[in-house]
Amino acid sequence: MNRKQRRAAATAGTGGSSSAAGDDARHGEALFRQALQLHQSGRLADAEVLYRNVLALAPRHAGALNYLGVLHHQTGRSEAAAALIRQAIAADRDNAEPRYSLGLIHASLGQDADAITQTRRALKLDPDHVEARTNLGVLLLRQGQPREATEHLARALDLAPSPRAYENLAQALVEDGRADEAIDVVLRGLRDGGSGNLKSIFVMIAQAFDPAAAARHHGFRAALARALTEPWCRPRDLARLCCRILALQGESAPDQNADDDPLLAALLTTTPVVDLDLERQLTAARRALLDGAHADAAAPDDLLGFAIALARQCFINEYVFAISDDEARKVRALNDSITAKLAAGGAVAPMAIALSAAYGPLHALADSERLARRPDMAPIAALITQQIREPRTEREIRATIPALTPITDATSTAVRAQYEQNPYPRWSAPVADRPPLALDHYIRARFPAAPSRAIGERPIDLLVAGCGTGMHAIERVIQFRPRHTLAIDLSLSSLSYAARKSREAGLTAIEFAQADILALDALDRRFDLIDASGVLHHMRDPFEGWRALARLLRPGGLMSVALYSATARTAIRAAREVIAAKAYAPTPSGIRALRHDIAGRAPSDPLRAIVDFPDFYSMSDCRDLLMHVQEHQFSLPEIAAFLDAERFTLLGFETRAEARYRQRFPDDPAATDLANWARFEADNPATFAEMYQFWIQKRPGGD
């Protein structure tokens, strides 16, 4: 029971029994109070006995009838619950609580119209009933009436501010097309303590928010900076919006003080900049700093702060910015000077170190460990950690990672070599924490119309196949809290990065191991969930790898899969033809030359569209996007044939296009008809630009 119910019970629970006299009446009220206490503490069987004892003394006791009905509903006896609550209504027609309870039962049974009717009647009797206001708002939202829903949810928030009240109102405002007002509610809620869900709502709104409106909105920039650095999501999910806001306000000037602008500092230190104009300005700023003769002098704090943030950005994007021959010569001279001063124990200006770190990683300097030990490097401590200490930790971890299988397949060997050189993706911010979620609950909430079968309440066993640098694996562990997690990859460089990041997140129980999916038949383990996001399309035979993973699923097990769409990657294929014709090498200089070629093309050139891909803006991402040694692109008919042959049920896609799909194909409420999806994608080729991302479940007999 909630606070409102307890208050109603205390003030108006007796109904017809209030006219009873003497000891029986007093005894009945005492029993009722005890029953409420037992009910509140979860002792439902004991509470039921006392409610019945009250009704034996006073058969029309409205409070006992109502809460016995609530208890029946809680224990799966909804029809009996409704009958009891109707008796409570008849016993005390001026009491809002039984009508509120009856509305809850109707809502849980999917009888929204009846639920709305009863809840409206409760509010007529008690306009300040917070829970009734909230539930009516949620019901109206579910019925596609966001305007009235916001009125009730706003009133509920005024009556009793809480994280959930802020969340409900913000979601309703979004659905009513009032994103500006929703942001106001979210920011107010965050000032009042906030919640993880409220932060997620902010991210959802921000991703679709107009940059010009965001730039004008008071408090939005500060919240956006927090979202990047705490973080509330993957920082790269908000990177493009940040770049556009900075461009609109002219905040990307070379002498910008990153310390004074939390948004610029947050962007530079957490995720690659994904805007070509801003990249060019930062490249020019770096060159200006190098030419500015600050290396041997004490730089102003604002300039040093900007140089440090810029150096951290360059490390994150793996030095993808263009470098002229003149810059390369000056950097070599700078590094020689730093090395000589370190060897002699002389003073080294922090600005000199920051400039060096903006052109190459500090761990590549001779005597870099001596640099890390120097107390006068405190102003650049973040750089020392990022570019010396963390790579050292990864080297130490690398030697401890076990090999579960040999890697003998020629394609697997080539893919491993690529990711040893360029672990993918590189990410810097810690992973956003969130309340754990049962896998069954997630599937039901995300795909309510899908024909899924429950895994059960037991803790799950998770396999992350092709975990890369660990971001996705760590997110899955935080999301589902599995009993055991095995994360495998071909590349030791990737795995050591992933293991370091998992330690930083406090997730020391993830088991990282080197393995080839094609050789996993010998693995004597089975899993409830296998995550194969972005790995199968890099295999010699993706379907052979997919079948190998399927054999590791328990009956009824779930798989999360992400595959490249041939339809969505037309521009990528065109770029690869240019790469082949011009023989660009998959090296830092070759990748920079290729990016210069693409960025310099006319806006009308189809290849110029590549600059809109976020992966264009870091070295590893760009190589993965345009120069991968092995990539298979899929069609939906191919996927449909595999799922049918291997006895998998499609539960649904994770895509923002789902609402538009449902409008076009209302006869497919589960949104799982792949023939329909193929028609939808043909008309909307960018639908799956970020890959086909979907969930499937192993059918009976498919094990």
Give 178-201 pLDDT, tens digit per residue. Answer: 999 999 999 999 988 877 789 989
Highest mean pLDDT among 259-268, 335-344, 628-637: 628-637
Token digits of residue 556: 């009824």
Q: Tell me, rounded to whole angstroms, the distance of Cα 277 from its chain centroid.
A: 28
Query: Which of 144, 86, 84 minimizes the C-alpha distance to 112?
Result: 144
Share of the chain above pLDDT 70, in %: 93
DSSP character for 403? B
For residue 314, which amino acid is it?
C
Mean per-residue pLDDT, 322-340:
95
Q: What is the CA radius of gyration of the chain?
A: 30
Residue with tokens 């891909």: 613
Q: Please report the pLDDT score of residue 248 as a whole number.
A: 86
Q: Please report the pLDDT score of residue 183 as a whole number.
A: 93
Q: Please report the pLDDT score of residue 260 as a whole number.
A: 67
Token digits of residue 470: 């660990």
611 band by pLDDT with thresholds 50, 70 and 90: very high
DSSP character for 431? P
Token digits of residue 563: 């595959």
Half-sphere exposure in the Cβ direction for 68 (13 Å, CA) = 25
Higher pLDDT, 346 or 536: 536
Mean per-residue pLDDT, 75-89:
90
pLDDT at 2 over 80: no
14 band by pLDDT with thresholds 50, 70 and 90: very low
Q: Please report the pLDDT score of residue 592 as a whole number.
A: 97
pLDDT at 600 over 70: yes
CB 271 within 8 A of CB 277: no
**What are the backbone angles phi and psi of residue 527, rounded to the nearest 5°?**
-135, 150
| Cβ count within 10 A of residue 222 | 14
* Helix, strand counts (H, E) of the chain: 34, 7
Beta bridge partners of 162: none
Start-to-end CA distance of the chain, whole Å, equals 44
CB 4 within 8 A of CB 131: yes
Q: 91-128 pLDDT, tens per residue?
A: 999 999 999 999 989 888 888 899 999 999 999 999 99
pLDDT at 20 over 60: no
pLDDT at 7 over 70: no
**What are the backbone angles phi and psi of residue 531, rounded to the nearest 5°?**
-100, 120
Q: Is 580 exposed, middle or buried (0-12, 13-18, 19+ CB in 10 A)?
A: exposed
What are the angstrom distances between the C-alpha of 680 and each of 169, 359, 653, 663, 694?
33, 46, 13, 11, 16
Specify the pTM. 0.85
Give the SS3 label for residue 160. Answer: coil
Q: Kind and range of the H or E element at 484?
A: strand 484-489
Q: What is the pLDDT of the chain when averaged over all its residues?
A: 90
Q: Please report the pLDDT score of residue 17 as a whole number.
A: 42
